[in-house]
Each structure stands twice: as structure tokens, then as C-alpha cells.
Chain A
Amino acid sequence: MKTFLAMTKRNIKVFFKDKGMFFASLITPLLLLILYATFLAKVYKDSFNSALPDFISVSEKLVNGTVAGELFSSILAVCCVTVAFCSNTLMAADKVSGARKDLFITPVKKSVIALSYYVGTLLTTLIVIAVAMGACFIYIAVNGWFLTFGDVMLLILDVFLLSLFGTAFSCIINSFLKTQGQISAVGTVISAGYGFICGAYMPISNFGSGLQKTLSLLPGTYGTSLIRNHALRGVFAEMTKENFPPEVIEGIKDSVDCNIKFFGRAVSISAMYAIICASIAVLIGVYVLINVLDKKAD
């Protein structure tokens, strides 16, 4: 246990002392927030207003709150995974530097080292995500706060689960990386691509039905939807209070992926949690298996 704690501490220290690694992780969510707030917020707002029937009048605060909730969910859904990948570059960097070899010539079990990478990455990811989440909450508070304490708690839970998911995913992928070039390439692909396939950059409802079905097979989709549901729950409650027709609210929910369908069947919130938890368990299992089967240090 002492060895595990010492190695986890070492991984966290290396992450925070390696300024490149730390700032690359931190800059992703902050950059996304700035880009969303600067460019996309207006697009989302216009698109929301134009989609509403003419007979419905909506307060500016409610529109802004809706857009802010959508941005909040998009940014955090992406960052829980991309930040995990940035934080976890140490795992591959240790192979490049030879540090991994130094760890493996000791009596400590490989599983302890593997677990320390996982926990170290998870903690650093959570720290960076907490900063991003704080910034996002401030953004929501400025634009239109409709969240309850329960919503905030559920959002923290969602982000925690998605970070567990992202960390396990990054551990598996990084297990196979051996060069600096591969680390950079994977980081770029994940940063550029994950936001699209999880429905963060663009709601999945905008895609064709074939692609929608394919994306519904990916667990990250449900992580995004969970965050979005909880980030917008207060907004929808306010819409109900302001006598929005239920079909209009459902239409908005469909358009922003709060209602997700798996091959035509609606997926409930509890089912989404089950999918994410099962995915985390499977990914950690695969990671353990990779380490058990790996007979040599790289």
C-alpha cells in the first residue's frame, strides 16, 4: 500500500512539475470555454430562438441559461476524456524515457504500478476538471442560473464517472504507445475527434440515422447526455413553469440529445448510469488484463 501511495504521489508530482503536461491539460477546457463563449454561444442562441414557435415568448435569461447549460455539458463531456489523455501521457512518456524499465526491475508488482498510473491520472484529471467546472459554473451563473443543489451534485457525479471512464480509456490506449510521436498523434486524434463522436461538439440528433445508431453504441454518448440532462434540468423545469407546451420541451430535449434512443428505444437516465458504470468496469478489466498478459517492460 505504501508503495502504491508513493508511486501515485510520484505520478501526480511529475504531472504538476512537468509544465508542458500540466498546461496542455488545463488549456483544453479553458480554450474550449473561450471558443464556445466567443463563437458558438451566439450560434446556439440564434438556432434556439429560431426553432421556437412564434407564439412562445422566452425570457433572455432562460435562453442564455439554456445555451450556457448546453455549453457546460459539451465542454465537460469532452474534457473528462481529453484531459485524462493529456494527464496520462506520463504512462507512455515513462516508456520513452526508460523510467518504466527502472520501475519494472524492482520487486513491486506490475499491477501496483498500473494502478498507480490509473489513480494518479484520475486525480490529476479531477483537479483540472474541477478548475474547468468552476469556470463553467461561473459562466452559467453569469448567463442564467437554474440549477438546484441536487443538479450540481448530480453534475459532479456525472463528471466523476466520465473522468473514471476517460482515465480507463486512456490507460488502455496508452498501454500500446511507445514513442513521443505516437503520444502526440493519439492526443491530437482524441482532442479533435472525441467531441464529435460523443455528441458534444454537435448534437447527435443532427446526424443521419445510420450514424446516430452507430454512435448510440458508444458509451461516451451517454456520458454527454447525462451531463446535458442535469445541466439543463433546471431550464426545462423553468420552461414548464412558464407554461411551455410539453411537446415543445420534448422537442428541445430531442434536439440537444437529452433524449437518447438506442435503436429506436428511449434510454432512461438510470440506464445511462448503468451503461457508464458497466463501461468503466469493462475498461478497467481490459486494462488489468493488458497488464497481466504483458510479460515484458517496454
Chain B
Amino acid sequence: MENIIEIKNLDKSFKEVHAVNDLSFNVKRGELFAFLGVNGAGKSTTISIMCGTLKKDNGSVVIDGYSADTDMKKITEEIGVVFQNSVLDGVLTVKDNLYSRASLYGITGKEAKAKIDELSKLLDFENLMNRTLCKLSGGQRRRIDVARALLHDPKILILDEPTTGLDPQTRKILWQVVEDYRKSKGMTVFLTTHYMEEAADADYVVILDSGKISAEGTPLELKNKYTGDFVTVYNADEERIKSLNLPYEKIRDAFRIEVKDTEAARDLIVAHPELFTDFEITKGKMDDVFLAVTSKKLVGGN
């Protein structure tokens, strides 16, 4: 797969703060790319540079073959952005908001109506079209934000913490739409999130810390590299678990034993068949990866 985003040696400072420090990474066309980091790690700065709302100090940003230095207009035609906070006009209706934003891409009249109708069906807000935006719930507003970002069928959808604070049902609807779009239109999704289970579904993950990449890879590669496996044993005696001399955690009706890898888990079970009568082996979670890589816990998500 070819790269749709190529970022090389990107640098950006705000006075003494080096927000982005010699950052380089690629995003492949059509993939779900997760960009993780604590607040202040440089994620939003990188996104702002990609969108052309912030000038970089050094480095290069190439999106779908267009350089951010010379072809920003072309780039803006290719990207749709869902910002951390809704940036639509609260006093206008949903319809007015979407029509005015569609006009920014030259989509007007019947073409705009057709696109807005399509998105309203897809995101299930047909009955909200004449409602004032500021009177909608957080989840309803988020659906409108996503519709706004998809108005011009972008090749790249940038989601900047899109599901923070949303109820599970709305999160599910949003991801369903984004996934459908991604698959049917070959859209690339560039995601920043505080929800590690969302990052776990990504094709590729970059973890940013203090403006630099701390780790990158597929979720599986990261889990294998930065966390061990876990054997969860049910209906076991704690004294027996303790006698294994391995780190463990007591959970509601079981014990979660940490082992180096899947091979070690297998050996442990084979060595103690009487203890492991009811068990499961799981990989470490992305939370564990993030914690191991940055020694920081993500705030705001689960």
C-alpha cells in the first residue's frame, strides 16, 4: 500500500516549548492510523500543521502527493476534520450549518441537498435538521460534526479525540459510519483518542511523547514488544497462585497472572495442569503498552 501521508523531520516550537521535535512517520492509504499521546505531546500541533492552520518551523508534510508548502489548497480538498470540540455555529440550525460549510467546498444547491440528505440518513439525524445546534445533546452534536467533516467526501478523515465524553451507543454509531466510509470509499482515518480500545482496532499506532515518537507499530507488535501475556485463572486458591512466584493481580472471581509471552504461558499451564482447569490467555492491553512506553497514563478515557 502506498503512503497517503508522509511526514519527515517535522519541527515546531512555541518560544521555549519544542512541541514537535524531528517527527517522521507515514500513513498508508485506507488504513486506520492511531496517533496517541498525553495532552501536550504534540498531536494537535501536528494536526494543525497538516491542516495548514499552523506554520511548521522545519521538515516536510506531503499529503496524497501534495506538499503542504506549495499545495495547501489541494490538501484542504482532501481532508475532513472532526475537532476536539464542536466548531459549528451554535445559534444556527443543523441545516444552516451544513449548507454554509458545504459552500466552502463549492457544494451548493441540489448537490449540497443530496449530500446532506445522504449524511443525515447515514448518521441518523434526519429529524434534527431544523433544530438549533446548541440545543442538541453532546452525542447529537458529534454526529453533525462528523457529517460536516464528510461533506466533501474527503480522502483523509482526521478525528481529533472524536468520542471523548460520548455515550457508548453514539460512539458505536460514529465508528460504524466511519468504518463503512473507510471501507466503501477507501478513506484513510487519522485518529487521536484517549480510548485505548479504539486504538487497539487501528492498523498502525504511533505513540508520541514530548513531540517525539516513543513507539510505533501495529497494536500486536506493540503489545508483544511492550507488554507480556496474561493468564486469567478462575476458581483457584490464592496460596497456590502465590507459590508460582509470578506477578499477579486479584480480580473479582479470578487471578490475572503476568507472564513474559505466550510461550511462557503455555509452559506454565503444562507445568501446573491441576491449577489451570479454568483459564484464558490474553495479550496485554493498549493501556499497558501506553503506560510502558510513556510511563504516563492517558487522562480522559477509560
Whether A and B are associated in the same complex: the answer reads yes
Minimum CB–CB distance for A102 against chain B, Å = 4
Q: Is B175 positioned at the interface, with any CB of A under 8 Å from its CB?
A: no
With A105-B52, A107-B73, A107-B76 as given contacts, are A7 and B100 in contact (CB-CB < 8 Å)? yes
- Could you tell me if B89 and A104 are in contact, using CB atoms closer than 8 angstroms? no
- Tell me if A98 and B83 are in contact (CB < 8 A): yes
B85 on interface, CB distance cutoff 8 Å: yes
The contact of A105 among B55, B81, B99, by CB within 8 Å, is B81
Contact of A10 among B74, B100, B106 (CB under 8 A): B100
Q: Is A296 an interface position by the 8 A CB rule? A: yes
Kindly provide the distance from the CB of A14 to the nearest chain B CB, expressed in whole angstroms: 5
> Which size bracket describes the interface of A in this complex?
20 to 34
B contact residues around A3 at 8 Å (CB): 103-104, 106, 108
Count of CB-CB pairs between chains A and B under 8 Å: 74
Beta-carbon contact of A98 and B85 below 8 Å: yes
Q: Which residue of B lies closest to A104 (CB)?
A: B53
- Residue-wise interface mask of A (79-120) relative to B, using a CB-CB cutoff of 8 A (1 in contact, 0 not): 000000000000000000111011111111000000000000
Q: Is A6 on the interface with B (CB-CB < 8 A)?
A: yes
State whether the Cβ of B123 lies closer than 8 Å to any Cβ in chain A. no
Q: A2-B108, A101-B87 are in contact. Are A14 and B103 (CB under 8 A)?
A: no
Q: Which of A6, A98, A101 has the most CB of B within 10 A?
A: A6
Q: A103 touching B96 by the CB < 8 A rule?
A: no
Chain B residues near A103 (CB-CB < 8 A):
104
Decide: A105 and B103 in contact? CB cutoff 8 A: no
Complex: chain B residue closest to A16, CB-CB: B91
Q: Are A2 and B52 in contact (CB under 8 A)?
A: no
A107 to B101, CA, bound (A): 11
Contact B51 A105 (CB under 8 A): yes
Chain B, 47-66, CB within 8 A of any chain A CB: 51-55
Query: Which residues on the A side are within 8 Å of B104 (C-beta)?
Result: 3, 6-7, 103, 106-108
What's the Cα separation between A16 and B248 when bound, in Å? Answer: 63
Interface contact A9-B87, CB-CB below 8 Å: no
Residues A7 and B103 in contact, CB atoms below 8 Å apart: yes
Q: A2-B108, A6-B103, A7-B103 are in contact. Are A14 and B73 (CB under 8 A)?
A: no
Report the separation of the CA atoms of residues A243 and B148 in the bound assembly, to the nearest whole angstrom.
70
Checking B88, B96, B106, B132 against A102 with a beta-carbon cut-off of 8 angstroms, the contacting residue is B88
B269 at interface (Cβ–Cβ under 8 A)? no
Chain B residues closer than 8 Å to A7, beta-carbon distance: 100, 103-104
As a 0/1 sequence over residues 155 to 189 of chain A, the CB contacts with chain B under 8 angstroms (1 = contact) are: 00000000000000000000000000000000000
Main SS class of interface, A: helix
Q: Are B53 and A105 in contact, with the CB atoms below 8 A?
A: yes
A297 to B76: give the CA distance in the assembly, Å: 14
**B105 in the interface, Cβ–Cβ < 8 Å?**
yes
Assess whether A61 is interfacial by the CB under 8 Å rule. no
A6 close to B99 (CB less than 8 A)? yes
**What 1/0 flags go to B77-99 for Cβ under 8 Å of A?**
10101010101111110001001
Kindly identify which residue among A98, A104, A106, A296 contacts B105, using a CB–CB cutoff of 8 Å.
A106
Please, how many angstroms separate the alpha-carbon atoms of A108 and B106 in the complex? 8
> For residue A101, which residues in chain B have a CB less than 8 angstroms away from its CB?
53, 83, 87
Indicate whether A42 reaches chain B with its CB closer than 8 angstroms.
no
Chain B residue nearest in CB terms to A17:
B91
- Let me know if A18 is at the binding interface, CB within 8 A: yes
Is B87 touching A107 in the complex (CB atoms < 8 A)? no
Q: Are A17 and B92 in contact (CB under 8 A)?
A: yes
| Set B52, B91, B106: member contacting A14, Cβ < 8 A | B91
CB < 8 Å neighbour of B92 from A6, A14, A98, A106: A14
- Please determine whether B83 and A102 come into contact, CB atoms closer than 8 angstroms: yes
Q: Do A296 and B54 have beta carbons less than 8 Å apart?
A: yes
- How far apart are B19's CB and chain A's nearest CB, in angstroms? 14
Contact A6-B87, Cβ < 8 Å, known A104-B53, A106-B76, A296-B55: no
- Chain B residues with Cβ below 8 Å from A10 are 89, 92, 96, 100
Across the two chains, which residue of chain A brings its CB closest to B73? A107
Q: How far is the CB of B293 from chain A (nearest CB, A)?
A: 30
Given A2-B106, A9-B100: A99 touches B87 (CB 8 Å cut-off): yes
Establish whether residues A13 and B92, one from each chain, have CB atoms under 8 Å apart when the complex forms: yes
**In the assembly, what is the distance between CA of A57 and CA of B96, in Å?**
62
Cα A251 to Cα B273 in complex, Å, equals 114
| Segment 190-222 of B: residues with Cβ below 8 Å from A | none
Within the complex, what minimum Cβ distance (angstroms) separates B129 from chain A? 15
List 30 A–B pairs whose Cβ atoms lie within 8 Å, in order of A's numbering.
A2-B106, A3-B103, A3-B104, A3-B106, A3-B108, A6-B100, A6-B103, A7-B100, A7-B103, A9-B100, A10-B92, A10-B100, A13-B92, A17-B91, A17-B92, A17-B132, A98-B85, A99-B87, A99-B89, A102-B81, A102-B88, A102-B101, A102-B148, A105-B53, A106-B101, A107-B73, A107-B77, A107-B106, A296-B53, A296-B55
Chain A residues within CB distance 8 Å of chain B: 2-3, 6-7, 9-10, 13-14, 17-18, 97-99, 101-108, 295-297
A14-B92, A102-B81, A107-B105 provided; 16 other pairs, C-beta below 8 A? A2-B103, A2-B106, A3-B104, A6-B99, A6-B100, A6-B108, A10-B89, A17-B91, A102-B87, A105-B51, A105-B52, A106-B76, A106-B105, A107-B76, A107-B77, A296-B54
Q: Which 6 A-B pairs have the closest CB atoms?
A: A6-B103, A98-B87, A106-B104, A10-B100, A297-B53, A102-B87
